[in-house]
Chain A
Amino acid sequence: MNERRIRVLVAKPGLDGHDRGAKVIARALRDAGMEVIYTGLRQTPEMIAAAALQEDADAVGVSILSGAHNTLCPRIVQLLRKQGMHDCLVLLGGIVPQEDIPKLKAEGVAEVFLPGTSTEEIVKFLRENVKPRG
């Protein structure tokens, strides 16, 4: 059986340019043996969903520090589902008020990682939650 490496699209939607977190996580996931594609800055939800499809991503890691998560994340989830990517996990990292988390999860975000999260925790989450491909 050849084991498929977990493929993660790290994405930076919205106008914000603070990409320290996205880049640190991209490198940590790569060091953990995953295949990582970084979208670059200022991607629209449409561009992110298209890239996820093209890259056949198991998960999309979205980094948002600007407060625009409630607008952008649900839209990314919807677009992924619409193109048939039902198992593709959407993970959010950034500055997100606690109050927003239940709603984001209800709208399909798999997990929200707040500042101070270790990269190991994110690696562990992906390993435990990405569905094995048949």
Chain B
Amino acid sequence: MPETKELTSPIEAERERWERETLLPALQVRPERKTRFESVSLEEVERLYTPADIAGLDFSNDIGFPGEFPYTRGLHPSGYRAKLWTMRQFAGFSTPEETNSRFKYLLQQGQTGLSVAYDLPTLMGHDADSSLSEGEVGKCGVAVSSLSDMEVLFEGIPLEQVTVSQTINAPASVLLAMYLVVAEKQGADWKKISGTLQNDILKEYIAQKEWIYPIRPAMKLVIDTFAFCADHVPRYNPISVSGYHIREAGATAVQELAFTLRDGLEYVEWGRRSGLAVDSFVPRISFFFNAHNDFFEEVAKYRAARKIWAREMRERFGSNHERTLQLRFHTQTAGVSLTVQQPLNNIVRVAIQALAGVLGGTQSLHTDAYDEALALPTDRAALIALRTQQIIAEETGVANAVDPLGGSYFVEALTEKMEEQAREYFRKIDSLGGMVAAIERGFPQREIQDSAYQYQKAVERGDQVIVGVNKYQMEDEGSTVPILVIDESVRQHQLERLEQTRAKRDAGAVANALEKLRRAAQEEENTMPATIEAVRAYATLGEICAALRDVYGVYEEPAI
């Protein structure tokens, strides 16, 4: 029929001819290795992409120029030619003294920003001397129980010059307060300091599960930091909306993309409902994505993320403010992809994952150390991880041209497909009443759990190959690399400082400050000023979180 003919473009006709004349005979001689090729997210990948796969795209609307809407090709008009990404290695272990010296070492080695990892008691709002902290002090990060610890952590590091990212969520407002008080004591101007607080509580309920309070009051604490920072610490990013942990929990690339951005929209909506003007706080919302093994899927994910965010800010919130439309993000290579088996292979995985982050236009990057499937990184492993970024930046030439993969039929088609799939999730979550309501019903949690299980099955069938684990295995090499050991003396050291802090402080001032904080929480005032006052009086993290728990209660996870 003539209509069918019109629908077939010359390229499609050419493709049919190619399949018939060139491909089929080749397949007869050498069949393909498997019947279905799929990404690490178990999405099918076609054999070949041509202009026909991106025929629906409009260059200016969908791809465009870097530094312009919809920012598919990056935020900066000249990419990395003006400024490389920030090399920001996540570090933290043992005592504040130990981590302080690791920070200084990393800065000496050419690292350009700091990123603090706190231990589990700190992440959960417990002091080092709580019985719940036994066996966990200083293990997964640095132990911080009060302002005294924070003072040691940043001793000799000028907070007006160095940007610091803090990975802390449920008790984030307290750690922000400690950071601000330390900066003030150094003589730094709050208006000049910059840095990032992770403070993304939604992904805790979805994926990482380090929560304290129920969702709604926890969201209120997040919005308090938005309002406080917009007024007093204008260059500080009070949130890093994180897909990293969602991916690590087993999500596919599309689920990571969709749930993270939908979390971001939820924060914007809550901020707006609390009375903040969208363009007063959204420019300071930052994002954090994973860099997993599937190279092209990851690059497409970052490009789609920028495009979706810009469009949503326009369409949902009517913004035309450039900084509101621009999605800025940090990337970390996928911890979950690291293997205990043949651990040095991880150096190669990390390099390729990092390259995807760079080609996706990340603003900052953390590269994992090869020994992280065994323990926290040793100095040597951490240094190789940093050097990996420096090699990508200085030797490979990938930072010379802006968005070098833009225009690839495959990458553009994938970017488009991921945007559509993410929007499908947005519609579902919107129909459930938004992300908070969706989490309360266990929707994203269930989706991720299913994906994690499907992936495990694919690995066990051998459909997904992990070198050294289900193919090319060797006698175990795990014990051949030295690992970092953190013993129980760390807890003793922390207990001593905590005891001294409690002995030296003015107990009356602490009690008053905590009472003020309880009142601010009850009356739904902004809790930040009272939190800062409590921190200044050397109230401990555990005491401050307990005061808020008195008012808000604790979260109970629904059975999923």
Contact = CB atoms under 8 A, between A and B. Distances in A.
Contact of B135 (A14, A17, A119): A14
Contact of A116 (B132, B140, B469): B469
A129 interface: no
Interface in B482-497: 483, 485-486
B470 to A, nearest CB: 8
B298 interface: no
Interface in B107-137: 120-121, 123-124, 126, 132-136
Interface in A59-77: 66-68, 70-72
Given A14-B136, A17-B208, A95-B374, A116 B339 contact: yes
Nearest to A23: B449
A103 interface: no
Nearest to B251: A20
B373 A115 contact: yes
A110 to B, nearest CB: 19
A16 B126 CA distance: 13
B209 A17 contact: yes
Contacts of A66: 120, 136, 139-140
Q: Is the interface of B mostly helix, strand, loop or mixed?
A: loop
A70 B487 CA distance: 10
A114 B478 contact: yes
B39 to A, nearest CB: 19
**Size class of the A contact interface (CB-based, 8 Å):** 20 to 34
Interface residues of B, number: 45
Interface in B445-486: 449, 452-453, 456, 459-460, 466, 468-470, 476, 478-479, 483, 485-486
B209 A19 contact: yes
B557 interface: yes
Contacts of B210: 15, 17
A18 B209 contact: yes
A23 B449 CA distance: 7
Contacts of A98: 476, 478-479
A20 B452 contact: yes
A118 B478 contact: no
Interface string B209-221: 1110000000000
Contacts of B140: 16, 66-67
Given A67-B486, A116-B340, A120-B460, A95 B208 contact: no
B438 interface: no
Given A23-B449, A66-B140, A114-B340, A95 B373 contact: yes
Contacts of B136: 14-15, 66-68
B546 interface: no
Contact of A68 (B124, B135, B204, B373): B135
B452 A41 contact: no
Nearest to B122: A15
A15 B123 CA distance: 9
A130 interface: no
Given A41-B209, A115-B373, A70 B341 contact: no
Q: Is the interface of A mostly helix, strand, loop or mixed?
A: loop
B249 interface: yes
B248 interface: yes
B375 interface: yes
Given A19-B209, A20-B249, A71 B135 contact: yes
Nearest to A12: B209
A41 B210 CA distance: 10
Contact of A71 (B120, B134, B449): B134
Nearest to B559: A40
Nearest to A25: B456
A105 interface: no
Contacts of A99: 479, 483
B486 A115 contact: no
A97 B485 CA distance: 9
Interface string A97-133: 1110000000000000011101110000000000000
A53 B234 CA distance: 55
A114 to B, nearest CB: 5
A24 interface: yes
Contacts of B249: 18-20
Interface in B249-293: 249-250
A20 B250 contact: yes
A47 interface: no
A70 B453 contact: no
A14 B211 CA distance: 14
A125 B58 CA distance: 57
A16 B249 CA distance: 13
B124 A28 contact: no
Contacts of A115: 339-340, 373
Contacts of A18: 208-209, 248-249
A95 to B, nearest CB: 7
Given A23-B449, A41-B557, A115-B340, A97 B486 contact: no
Contacts of B121: 15
Given A116-B466, A119-B460, A95 B123 contact: no
Nearest to A96: B374
B139 A67 contact: yes
A126 to B, nearest CB: 16
Interface of A: 14-20, 23-24, 27-28, 40-41, 66-68, 70-72, 95, 97-99, 114-116, 118-120
Interface of B: 120-121, 123-124, 126, 132-136, 139-140, 204, 208-211, 248-250, 336, 339-341, 373-376, 449, 452-453, 456, 459-460, 466, 468-470, 476, 478-479, 483, 485-486, 557
5 contacts: A15-B120, A24-B250, A68-B135, A116-B469, A118-B459
Given A17-B210, A98-B476, 6 more contacts: A14-B135, A24-B453, A68-B134, A95-B374, A99-B479, A116-B469
